[in-house]
Structure 1
Amino acid sequence: MASAEAFFERVDTGRFLASEHTRGPWDPLAQHAGPPAALLGRAVEDREGAREDMRLARITYEILRPVPIGPLEVTTSVLRAGRSTEVVEAALAPPGAAPVMLARALRIRVAPEAVPAAVPGPGLPAPGEVEVTPFFPVPWETGYHRAMETRFTEGAFMELGPGTCWMRMKVALIAGEDVRPLDRVLVAADSGNGISSVMDFGRFVFVNSDLTVHLHRHPVGEWACVEARTSVDAAGIGLADARLHDEKGPIGRSAQSLFVAPR
């Protein structure tokens, strides 16, 4: 297990070791989906031959099974390469095992100042204007809950209903490598269902097996904000839908499909 102050340690090209900082709140042996989502996003952007005139516009993750804390391998492949768009797939797997997480990303060609910008919606209180909000109680000391700083402008982790939360990484994504704004957004986006919980954690499970992130603007800065709303049907299917922000304003949306059931 990696011991660096980072979510992952790079072992070799495409090979990583997850640290305890990736640990989620439900299983001491499994990762929160945020760090591996950011790792796959980094792999899409950094793959060999990636075009510099394209930018990630949408990435969809399929969380096939819990992501273990330990050695992992990342592979990428181009599914479609066009003049203006491309689709890239990335897979995350323990060595010699089937993938535990897949990502399929749409990248779109960009041209500076090609069209007039249109930014929807009002801004939010800045992270410096709100207090640090504690994470909900977790039975272990080290994990995602300690590796992220959280500041709610609406709601709280243990408060039922909509929530809006600024999030900032306290550790690097990969040891010894710079943290990028895209890392910060993808690490945070999977928290929408926890930020906007509508059911008691103690009585119900509401876990997501997917995550889709759309970005109309490339993020900037250290902070990412998840402005989330959750809806649940009596059949046990839910949706956590969120607007994503940085300190300059809205940058896109995220969505998670939820399996909801009594404990």
Structure 2
Amino acid sequence: MELPAALYEPTDDGYLATALTIGPWDPGLQHAGPPAALLLREAERASGIDDGQTVRMAFDIFAPVPVGPVHLRSSVVRPGRRIELLEAVLTAADERPLMRLSAWRMRTRTDGPSPEMAAEHPAAAGPEQSRPEDAAFFSEEVAYHRALDWRFATGSFNAPGPASAWTAPRCALVAGEPMTPLQHLLVMTDAASGISAELDWAKATFANVDLLVSLHRPPRGDWLGMDAVTTLGGTGAAQCSAVLFDADGAIGRSAQSLFVEPR
């Protein structure tokens, strides 16, 4: 099976989504992970802190993103030499905002206090000892689930309940350039509610309306992971939360608000 080399191809005025962005709910709509990473890339390109780190990313998903051409714009909401707030917005053909990112960045320091001892690693096993698995609920053979190499330390894509999984990129975010660890983290993290689903994919939808990622340090290395759990509210809402990690340990947390309804 031949896969596209990237999630997006650059165009004269934006980007063209490839089949690797296709989500699980509709073959014409993107999974939110790839556009989240594309928004982060756009925001960091507008940054005025060259040696900074992005510590909080809040994504609002106004509407599903079609698989096709997308456009982005960014702005510096709060400039600063040590701390800044950036915003990036993604639109499609009609220029209607579909996703928005608000991102705080801070200047990187090397003289700050370090933890006295390492915490226990969130994953029960490393990627080499974890189980490879493909998601069975995508309608298309080539779709988002092929963009990453998935290895499950606990749980499963294809069974309900909490799960802990490692991923490594199988493609670039934008053709012609390597995917950074932070971009990889965002391509992955929106799938936290997918690996920890509590409902049958064939009987219910549970798409998220937002994604919040908070990091105490940047991700490192090729393999990143998340330990995720979904909690049903019983009122048509649910929440997914995850601990995010790399080979050296935890790096932060994510949260998603889910809108739940029967198919």
- State the partner residue of 1:174: 174
Q: Quick one: structure 1 residues 42 and 109, their matched pair in 2 at CA, closer, same or farther if it must change by over 3 Å?
A: same
- State the partner residue of 1:23: 22
**Residues 217-242 of structure 1, C-alpha deviation per residue, up to 9 Å, x if partnerless?**
11111122110011111111111000
Using the TM superposition, name which of 128-137 and 56-65 deviates more. Answer: 128-137
Measured in 2, the distance between the counterparts of 1:126 and 1:34 equals 23
TM-score (norm: length of structure 2)? 0.93
- Where do 1:183-262 residues align within 5 Å? 183-262=183-262
In the alignment, is the contact (CA less than 8 A) between 2:34 and 2:187 conserved in 1? Answer: yes
Give 1:158 shift. Answer: 2.0
Matched AA of 2:48? A
- State the partner residue of 1:72: 70
In the alignment, is the contact (CA less than 8 A) between 2:62 and 2:97 conserved in 1? Answer: yes
Measured in 2, the distance between the counterparts of 1:207 and 1:146 equals 20
Give 1:109 shift. Answer: 1.9
TM-score (norm: length of structure 1)? 0.93
Matched AA of 1:233? G
Q: Quick one: structure 1 residues 143 and 136, their matched pair in 2 at CA, closer, same or farther if it must change by over 3 Å?
A: same
- State the partner residue of 2:49: 51
For these two proteins, the number of residue pairs brought into alignment is: 259
Give 1:70 shift. Answer: 1.1
- SS of the equivalent of 1:182 reads helix
- State the partner residue of 2:96: 98
Measured in 2, the distance between the counterparts of 1:118 and 1:227 equals 24
In the alignment, is the contact (CA less than 8 A) between 2:167 and 2:223 conserved in 1? Answer: yes
Measured in 2, the distance between the counterparts of 1:137 and 1:106 equals 35
In the alignment, is the contact (CA less than 8 A) between 1:120 and 1:250 conserved in 2? Answer: no
- State the partner residue of 1:81: 79
In the alignment, is the contact (CA less than 8 A) between 2:48 and 2:79 conserved in 1? Answer: no
Matched AA of 2:8? F
**Residues 60-96 of structure 1, C-alpha deviation per residue, up to 9 Å, x if partnerless?**
1111111011111111011112343211000011144
Give 1:210 shift. Answer: 0.4
Using the TM superposition, name which of 75-84 and 252-261 deviates more. Answer: 75-84
Matched AA of 2:107? R
Measured in 2, the distance between the counterparts of 1:16 and 1:118 equals 45
Using the TM superposition, name which of 115-124 and 32-41 deviates more. Answer: 115-124
RMSD across aligned C-alpha pairs, in angstroms?
1.6
Gaps of 5+ in 2: none
Identical amino acids, percent of aligned pairs: 39
Gaps of 5+ in 1: none
